Structure 1
Amino acid sequence: MAGDRSPYSCQQCYFMIHQSCIDLPEIINVNRHEHRLSRRLHLSLGSWVCRFCHKNVDWSYGAYSCSICPNYVIHSKCAIRSDVWDKLELKGIPEEPGDIEPFKVIDENLICHFSHKEHYLQFNEEGIISGGSIRCEACVLPIYSQAFYSCVQCNFILHKTRANLSRKKRHFFHNKPLTLICGDKIEHCEMCETYSQGFKYTDFKYCSIDVKCAMLSESIIHESHPCTLYYITNTYIKCASCNEGGCRSFSCDDCSFGLHERCAVLPKTIQHWYDEHLIFLCYNKNKRGGEYWCDICEEQIDTMIWFYTCDSCCVTFHTECVLGDFSRFMPGRIVTHRNWRIKAMQTSPGFLPRCYICHTQRAVPFVLNLCNPQNNVFICSLECLVRTRLGRTSFREVVYFILYRFVLNSYLRNNE
């Protein structure tokens, strides 16, 4: 490493170390790996690649490596980054016991899950089609035909993959260990920036991410791109899905392809009552020719961004029209948020309420019912939600603001 003109050196064996490197911790945890890493002055001969920056590691300069995973190494400078290391030296500190199992096995078909201890959950084989009418308590996504666990006495349901989630984990998005908690309230996911009522991984202080994002690893394979995508920060990349720029994304080392976190977790298939079939996320450039129109909002689709399509009916939809802002809320369940009682309600051709704020009847999959004692108020989007008292802005203030803007614009037009 260049730039340090006063290193420490041994005259007998020609060992040399920078002043800035002499205090490097010996044993650490990083958020990119599940095991502890130890600092090695030299690696064995061979070709090594850093698991953080994906650049070559010179074996003679050493690095941090894992004693359990022989191929895992990371540059010393990469390992002690503030967004990777939790700043704890673990030398002399006993290793914590293994992860607590998320459930106890009762028999070959029954488990007792930590999130639903009052009743047993029964295993249901993959292939049982639910039609999307039932939803997983953890990710709040429809079951469809995946294997799942269902309560033998109530409506509590978990995808099999969600039931097996670790109680604690380290995640590349945060440098502290995270704990899995049940979804008893509405929270904001720091990673994909959506609101969800499902299970969360949290440090109980600064970070909370939903299980959908928590299941992502630092490197992913996405159907839209042939190369492996790696999670990077502090590098501006335009997202291939939404065509917007950002400094956090999953990107390709060999080209300029990138995906925002929220776009990387868009469901590949989904249902909407506007079409009787499953609709698919379209990102194939070969299909992007001519003009496309959204059958829900009847506005044109920008073919530079991803959209949903039904191959059987040859119809297309905006992703925001298909998903809406409240699709991660458990429908029909009343929760308290900022002193309001809220209930997400699924729309249908026979139930399409008018939004209290924008006065439109949008065919979004869910609307939010603010259970006002005087009357039922329906909200169609987060944009409208922040304009209510729930968003700390009174309806009267919104009306005054709209009137002010109307008068101001009229005055400006008349004086041009």
Structure 2
Amino acid sequence: MVIAVIGPSSRGAVASELAKHLHFHLIDEDDIIPTSQHSLPSSSAAAVAESKTLNSFFELVIQIAKTIRLNQGLIISTKLSHSSLIDDLKQLAGTADERLVIVQCIEAQDASYRYQFEGVQVFTVDPKRFDANNLLAEMSSKVAKRNSTHLHALSLYNNYQPFTESGKGLKCKRCLELISGPMYQCMECNEYIFHKSCAEDPCDLKLVRQSCPKNLRASKEPPGYELPPEKQKKCETCELNKKDFSVSCRDCIFKTNMEGKFLPLIINHGSHSHPLNLLMMPPSYDYKFECCGCGELGKSISYRCYDCNFNLHVGCVLLEHTAKSIRHDHKLTLVYDSLEVTYWDKNSCEFCNNERKPEQWFYYCSTCEIAAHIGCCAADQSQ
């Protein structure tokens, strides 16, 4: 989705709040074009100069957009003093088959800046009374869906009651009961809405370790999403187009995991202060990341904090908090914060004698004051 937050003033705070809630990229015209250029005298020469400046801004936006994934969302904050520039925004969204939504920031004194746009969903807000939750709920119910996939990044809302445009309460995608109280919602679509407890179920990692297929824990190789036919679930788009389940379809993978309850959609992990979203990408997308736990490269599937660009292997998330090794007599405790002063001099692995990077997790014996790579302990447990 591409959201253009427009208006002559006070739009920056609205754009920033939306970007924070949606975890979208943000490009602000005021960060690129000096404010002084927006307040030039209204002479014809100044108008021409401003028009050229805005055209340059949109050219720059398009260049930046080409370097990011538009299906992860983009918000553009712009004065949009020329309504003709809407065609550039339409073209930008169209190149990635994404929706374009306009959010007009209109205060009483700015009423003359209101534009009419054809073929684009427009929402009008008063920046002084702006509430992101209310706007996003309205957007979720009114914005038409495209037959395209996105990451379904779920955001948490506490004590919030969403409603459809008809006034009927929305139902949890997993348990099919009416939503009330804390919930997670994908703000790219209103297809995925969950009770907090349903999104985090099962919250007991012991149960996840028992039920999670081993192929989803793979760290160095893309996970095998191939499952028995009775466990494969087609997404609504593939159902509509009469297509079979495909490991190349993100929504098919998402729905299969959701209904099979192989992995929780959301995990609250002791290593990070924010909830972590489950991200499952088809192998063909060649999605790679560096695990913030072990430091190794990961592929296709991770638990991710979109705010902090924090990623973990599924296998690292499921590590036991305490472990036993055949090479040591005592139980070892998993440590996330390697930078605590207690561990500053523990810069090598007791088991393999190789260097231990301080930013990576490790297992620690407080009795003997030794540290070991998590991989070395995992290798012992697999024997």
Give me the TM-score of the superposition, normalised by structure 1: 0.35
Q: Which has the higher contact order (CA 8 A, sep 6+)?
A: 2
More strand by share: 1
More helix by share: 2
Give me the TM-score of the superposition, normalised by structure 2: 0.37
